Every structure is written in structure tokens, then in C-alpha cells.
Amino acid sequence: MDTIDGTDSMTIGEAAERSGNAASALRYYEQQGLIHASRSSGGQRRFERDVLRRLAFIGAAQRVGLELGEIRAALEQLPDSRTPTRRDWAKLSTAWRPRLDEEIAYLTRLRNQLTECIGCGCLSLKTCALYNPDDEAAERGEGPRFLLDDRSKRAN
């Protein structure tokens, strides 16, 4: 992996295996501007070590529920003049907390309503909060929408 001039770059296959992503995913991420690759004389991609950290960040962000576009936007916040520090990375993920909090709160409300509904046996179209989600908080416009998807990205 060490080339003759001492730089330590990876082929796409290596980067894929080390990061746990498919090579096709890395090509896609590059195309989407999430990661960068230089090229060999023959035109093949060469990744630097730091791509692994970016990929780890991308994976974590996806697990939190961000879309790639949002992740790209987040990555653009990183300083390009210097190598990002731990604090730079940590700062980015700070923004995730409110999202997680909100998501947890939403699911908890849903669960509590469900418990009530089962307890009372209602599930009435007119009165049940579970079946009428807009009762409490309608009107918010579209607002930011994000996904919590893809079980395969999750810890368990």
C-alpha cells in the first residue's frame, strides 16, 4: 500500500474493505461530493487515509438519520485550510443531538398513546390521538423532513 514515494494511498478496493462500504458506494459518494479521490497515472482512484474518517462520519450520520445531502452540507463546514481536528468532527455531530431528542420524544409520545388506546380499547377515528396525529400540533408547514431508515446501518 505504501507507494514508492512514501505516500500511503488506497485503491478503491482497499478503501471499501477498510471502511465497510461497497466500492460502488464509494464511487457514488465521490460523485455526490462527499469524499475526494486523486487519480493514478492510469486513471484509477487513490484515496488518502483520511477518507476513512469521513466515511465513518458519513456512516454515523446516516445512522442518526441524515440524508446524504445534509451530510455533504455538514462536511462542507469542515475547515479546508487544515486537517480537521477531533473537535471539528465533534462539533459537527453536536448538531445531531436535537434530532435524536426530537425523534425519541416523538416515538415515546406515540408509544404512550398506543398504550392508552390499547388500555381503553378505543382506537376511535374521532377521539384517538394515535389515529389523529394532527390533533396536537398541526400547522408547521413542510419543515425539514428526515429519515430514520435502513436497518442495515444500525447497531442492533
Partner DNA sequence: ATTTTACTTAAAGTCAACTTCAAGTCTTGC
Partner DNA sequence: GCAAGACTTGAAGTTGACTTTAAGTAAAAT
Report the distance separating Cα 54 and Cα 89, nearest Å.
9
Query: Among 137, 139, 149, which residue's Cα sits nearest to residue 65?
Result: 149
Check if the beta carbon of residue 54 is closer than 8 Å to that of residue 34.
yes
Query: Which entry of a copy of itself, DNA, none binds 73, CB below 5 to 8 A by partner kind?
Result: none
The span from the first CA to the last CA of the chain, in angstroms, equals: 33
Cβ 140 to a copy of itself shortest distance, Å? 6
Query: Which entry of a copy of itself, DNA, none binds 75, CB below 5 to 8 A by partner kind?
Result: none
The site for a copy of itself (CB under 8 A) is made up of 52-53, 56-57, 59-60, 63-64, 86-87, 89-90, 93-94, 96-97, 100-101, 103-104, 106-111, 114-115, 117-118, 121-125, 130-131, 133-137, 140, 142-156
Cβ 136 to a copy of itself shortest distance, Å? 6
Question: For the chain, what's the residue count?
Answer: 156
Closer residue to a copy of itself in complex, CB, 40/133: 133
The site for DNA (CB under 7 A) is made up of 11-14, 16, 22-25, 27-29, 37, 40-45, 62, 67-69, 147
Query: Which entry of a copy of itself, DNA, none binds 136, CB below 5 to 8 A by partner kind?
Result: a copy of itself
Query: Which entry of DNA, a copy of itself, none binds 52, CB below 5 to 8 A by partner kind?
Result: a copy of itself
Query: Among 57, 64, 145, which residue's Cα sits nearest to residue 104?
Result: 64
Closer residue to DNA in complex, CB, 29/57: 29
Query: What distances in angstroms separate CA 16 from CA 25, 52, 59, 66, one per listed residue?
Result: 8, 9, 13, 21
- φ, ψ for residue 75 (rounded to 5)? -65, -30
